[in-house]
Amino acid sequence: MAVIEAQAAGLRCVISGGISEEVILFPEQVVRVSLSTDPEEWAEKVIESIDRGKLDAGMCTQALEHTDFHIEHSLSRLVLLYSERLVEARAAAD
């Protein structure tokens, strides 16, 4: 979730190659680095990301609204999931 929140805030992210692709909402904001890469290269990627600066957080937040990670979409899925489980539990109790 931290990577998604950082992108929504317009921050550039340097993440390990082991992080799931699904959290990369704005590929231009994210740099992937292998965990086996030496610390100096990690530091270089972080510095490069800082030098590139932040993106417009408003634009990023608006773009996030059209993804499955937006709170309204997530809430809808969660309500549906719990509703289905409630129906199943009631049916099993009968």
| pLDDT tens digits for range 38-58 | 999 999 999 999 998 888 778
Look over the chain and give the mean of its residue pLDDT values, rounded to a whole number. Answer: 87
CB 23 within 8 A of CB 88: no
| Spatial distance between the Cα atoms of 94 and 88, rounded to a whole number of angstroms | 10
For the cut 80, the answer to whether the pLDDT of residue 69 exceeds it is no
pTM, two decimals, is 0.67
Report the pLDDT value the prediction gives residue 64, as an integer from 0 to 100: 75
| Spatial distance between the Cα atoms of 58 and 83, rounded to a whole number of angstroms | 33
Q: Where are the domains of the chain?
A: 2-93
Report the pLDDT value the prediction gives residue 66, as an integer from 0 to 100: 74
Phi–psi pair at 2, nearest 5 degrees: -60, -40
Q: Within 13 Å of residue 77, how many CA atoms lie on the same side as its CB?
A: 8
